[in-house]
Structure 1
Amino acid sequence: MVTLLLDSTQLEVVLSRVERTLAFRKGNVVIERSAIAKVQLTDDGWTWLRGVPSPGTHVRGAVAMGTWKSTGANDFVLIRRHRPGVVIDLDGHDEFERIILTTRHGLALVQALRLDVQDEAADVVELAAEAEPEPKPKKPRTRAAKPATAS
């Protein structure tokens, strides 16, 4: 599973050794926060693929990792099976126009991007959890007394 680290200036997609190998990348994907134009949640990242892997790995329906090139656009893709994910549209990034990731933590990423975070990178799941307000205690429900009926 992909790890997402966020600090006050950048979002880092941390790749495991296997992910780096399948994506043909030597390092992680680093995105300046100012380059993030839009973040969308998706039920299936496969619907967002455009172009062909170059370089990358594609096993239909199972895995898509690496750089996808299409006419005038390069996307970084990290998709496993048909699972929920996140699509990050970029503006002004020197390498990619879009990042497509399969992750269970898409909502946490969206919430964390709305926060003013510290200079030290932290996992987006932890950031979103810290920002959630305490749940309000529920009031006990009382039933209204039924009026007595004459028989």
Structure 2
Amino acid sequence: MVTLLLDSERLEVALSPAERALSRHRGNVYVDRAHIAKVMLTDDAWIWLRGVPSPGTAVPSVLAMGTWTSGTGQDFAVIRGRRPSVVIDLEGHESFERIVLTTRHGMQLIQALRLDGAEVAEDVADIAKPKPKPAKAKTRPTSRPAA
């Protein structure tokens, strides 16, 4: 499963060596936060896939990794089976119009994008974790004066 890293300026889709080989993509995918137009959660990423793999690997309903070329441009996909996914529409990105990823951290990505990013890239699952609340100091009950 891809790792999503986010800092104050960009989103990084970190690919494992196997994902790089299957997608035929040399490195990670970087997207400036300013290029992210819309982020959507979906249970079926396959309906968002458009075009044909070039280059990429596709086994229908099982695996789709790589660049998909269509009449509207190029999309990047890392899809495994029928699992929860995130669809990221881009505007002004030099390589892709859309990124479709199978990830269980879609909601955390949306929450993390709403926050101001850190200077160093962090995993979106860690960014969106609720911060622990400080423990309240225990106070002794006050006794009432006898009437």
TM > 0.5:
yes
Equivalent residue of 1:56, what SS? Answer: strand
Matched residue, 1:141: none
TM value normalised by structure 2:
0.88
Equivalent residue of 1:18, what SS? Answer: helix
Matched residue, 1:3: 3
TM value normalised by structure 1:
0.86
Matched residue, 1:41: 41
Equivalent residue of 1:111, what SS? Answer: helix
Deviation at 1:73, TM superposition (A): 1.2
Deviation at 1:60, TM superposition (A): 1.1
| Partner Cα distance (2:117, 2:98) in 1 | 23
Count of matched residue pairs: 133
Deviation at 1:134, TM superposition (A): 5.5
| Partner Cα distance (1:103, 1:34) in 2 | 22
Deviations 1:38-58 (A, max 9, x none): 000001100101100000000
Matched residue, 1:29: 29
Segments ≥4 residues shifted beyond 3 Å: none
Query: Unaligned 5+ residue runs, structure 1?
Result: 136-151
Query: Unaligned 5+ residue runs, structure 2?
Result: 134-147
Deviations 1:89-138 (A, max 9, x none): 00000000000000000000000000002111000000000xx3668xxx
Matched residue, 2:104: 104
Alignment of 1:1-151 (within 5 A): 1-129=1-129, 132=130
| Partner Cα distance (1:16, 1:2) in 2 | 7
| Partner Cα distance (2:48, 2:121) in 1 | 28
| Partner Cα distance (1:87, 1:118) in 2 | 23
Equivalent residue of 1:64, what SS? Answer: strand
The one-letter code of the counterpart of 2:115 is L
Deviation at 1:72, TM superposition (A): 2.7
